[in-house]
Amino acid sequence: MKVDTGVPTDPREAPVEVAQAAEALGFDGLHTAETAHDPFLSLALVAPATSRIELMTSVAIAFARSPTSMAQTAWDIQALSKGRFVLGLGTQVKAHVERRFAMPWGPPVPRLREYVGLTRALWDTWQDGAPLNFRGEHYRATLMSPFFNPGKIDHLRPPVYLAGVAPPLLRLTGEIADGLAVHPLHTVPYLREVVQPAIAAGAKKAGRVPSDVALSIPAFVVTGRTPKERDETRQRIRSQIAFYASTPSYAPVLEHHGWGEAREQLSALAARRAWSEMPGLVDDSMMAAFAVDVEPADAGPALRERYGGLADRITLYQRFVPGQDDEFWRSLLQALQS
């Protein structure tokens, strides 16, 4: 499987240096996420400064931008990177789209289907000269005069990955996407019993096969050079799991395991901003399901055992810092890429 890592989205945090170190060490891909900074700016800086490593948004929020704006940015990064870009898209939730991005909300599955369709139609227009005549229920675009056409690039169109947790988005991914950006709050049973069947159903509907859709999986790993470091990492990951588990969007994963009561309690605590109380509701069985807890030397084999045959790409949910724990990362890469 391919092994990826994150690159800082804050351009003040030396994304180029991080990217070059990750490429030299042997990582296969670099991810950026849309959190506190735009996910594309760092990739635009990194693209001309690297030569092999793939660049991915995991994810950019689709409904925060028009499809044309998204298509233009992806097109330019694909050109800058000489064909190494993967466009990962997510929908976010209504409250964030409306109240954080000040954009309209609508039914996410049909909107995202059209969003991807229009993005690809624009790429076809720019690359092949196909007339732009996209007419959907949610998006329409029929105007592309030469002055606004960026023109051909010497590379294939970017692959498109979608993020999804519940079956409707997973089925859409199977129908139209090149990959699924799995959410960190997942379990292997949920991947096998819910995610894979939903993708297969969508793929069948579209006349595709499930293997057309790659799984890019972020993994929680509890480890550390000392018992103290490992305890600190365990508590940090327990807190992150608690935060994710309190969010209604990820309820299907909790419900699948019979943890609905814990999810309701976590949601109630989050509503009261009782953040310090939340990790206590993530018991050891939940930790074992969501995270790998091992000594550093055992991380690679443990991840291979857990995700072998499932993951096409894997990313550890921890920051890669050049020159820090390089032996750990080399060992991990050797175990997973071989």
Three-state DSSP class for 38?
A: coil
- In this model, does residue 298 exceed pLDDT 90? yes
The whole-angstrom separation of Cα 292 and Cα 233 is: 11
Superfamily of the domain at 2-220+307-337: Luciferase-like domain (3.20.20.30)
Sign of the four-CA dihedral 220, 44, 65, 149: negative
Instruction: Dump pLDDT digits (tens) for 147-195.
Output: 999 999 999 999 999 999 999 999 999 999 999 999 999 999 999 999 9
Query: Mean pLDDT throughout 226-246?
Result: 96
Backbone phi, psi, residue 133, to 5°? -150, 65
Query: Mean pLDDT throughout 51-77?
Result: 98
- Beta pairing, strands 134-135 & 140-141: antiparallel
- In this model, does residue 124 exceed pLDDT 90? yes
The whole-angstrom separation of Cα 315 and Cα 295 is: 18
Q: Which residues contact 128 (CB under 8 A, 6 or more apart)?
A: none
Query: Mean pLDDT throughout 251-268?
Result: 96
Q: What is the DSSP letter of 129?
A: -
- In this model, does residue 233 exceed pLDDT 90? yes
Give the pLDDT score at 223. Answer: 95
The whole-angstrom separation of Cα 43 and Cα 55 is: 7
Burial class (CB in 10 A: 0-12, 13-18, 19+), 81: buried
Instruction: Dump pLDDT digits (tens) for 40-50.
Output: 999 999 999 99
- Beta pairing, strands 140-141 & 160-163: unpaired
Q: What residues does each domain of the chain span? A: 2-220+307-337, 224-293
Going by pLDDT thresholds of 50, 70 and 90, the confidence category of residue 248 is: very high
Give the pLDDT score at 33. Answer: 96
- In this model, does residue 301 exceed pLDDT 90? yes
List the Cα angle 44/45/49 in 5-degree steps: 115
Query: Mean pLDDT throughout 274-290?
Result: 96
**What's the mean per-residue pLDDT of the chain?**
97
Whole-prediction pTM value? Answer: 0.96
Assess contact for 64 and 103: CB atoms under 8 A: yes
Kindly state the percentage of the chain with pLDDT values over 70. 100
Helices 15-25 and 326-337, packing angle to 10 deg: 50
Q: Which residues contact 75 (CB under 8 A, 6 or more apart)?
A: 123, 126, 150, 153, 158
- In this model, does residue 338 exceed pLDDT 90? no
The whole-angstrom separation of Cα 285 and Cα 264 is: 17
